[in-house]
Amino acid sequence: MGKNKLAKFEENKLFDHVIEPKLDTYLQSDHELKGHWHEKIFKNNNDIVLELGCGKGEYAVNLGREYPNKNYIGIDIKGARLWKGAKITDQENLQNIRFLRTRIEFLSHFFGENEIAEIWITFPDPQRKKRRRKKRLTHSSFLKMYQNILKPGGIIHLKTDSLFLHKYTKEVIADNKLNIIEETDNLYHSSLYKNELTIKTHYEALFLEGNPTITYLKFQLDSENGLIEPETDDEEFL
């Protein structure tokens, strides 16, 4: 492990806005912050928005700058990655941004019912292999987890260069009769390309060098019924 990475890990420990719980502190029982982010962390009742797999935290930071009346939490397991967003947050004294180092699979240990207003999923691994279907962040098992923490009518944003994941997610949405608010299979040539959708993550910038097509979905996860997986074979999404 490089010295630079170790230095970032050490600096993360100094940031009040970076939360790095030890695994054994929340797998046996829920984390102490579950259901208490407003009162214990943000000290307000403003909406809380999550950026899942935040990487360097570009969305959390830029949204936090643009919308000071909302609270943002960037979530990633890679401490050296989220250090970048945490450093900017510290330098600019952005009080409405926090970072949580954990796996997305463990969200239910950290957030209570109706605690979250919106979720951003930006450029996740599409997990194209069928045996890894349940690893897709818009698989029904993940949506059920989001459903438990989102407010009624809570919003999910999916921004990706994977047309496969875009089509797959639209099928999940259709089979569960969820409401699509906005969608495009070519964001940069769409009227939707404005405001927060112009924010580029580090990975998006890399993708753009190969001139890929960026897609976007904004939908509501407001179904109270059990969520199901589409029966369509994955080949249909290729």
Distance of alpha carbon 67 from alpha carbon 63, whole angstroms: 6
Q: Do residues 117 and 156 lie in contact, with contact meaning Cβ atoms separated by under 8 Å? A: no
Distance of alpha carbon 191 from alpha carbon 157, whole angstroms: 16
Active-site option among 125, 175, 185, 222: 125
Distance of alpha carbon 17 from alpha carbon 42, whole angstroms: 10
- Can you tell me whether residue 122 is helix, strand or coil? strand
Name which of 34, 227, 54, 51 is nearest 147 in CA terms.
227
| Residue 16 bears catalytic tag | no
Distance of alpha carbon 111 from alpha carbon 43, whole angstroms: 16
List beta partners, residue 155: 118, 220
Report which residue type is found at 31.
H
Q: Report, as residue numbers or ranges, the catalytic residues.
A: 125
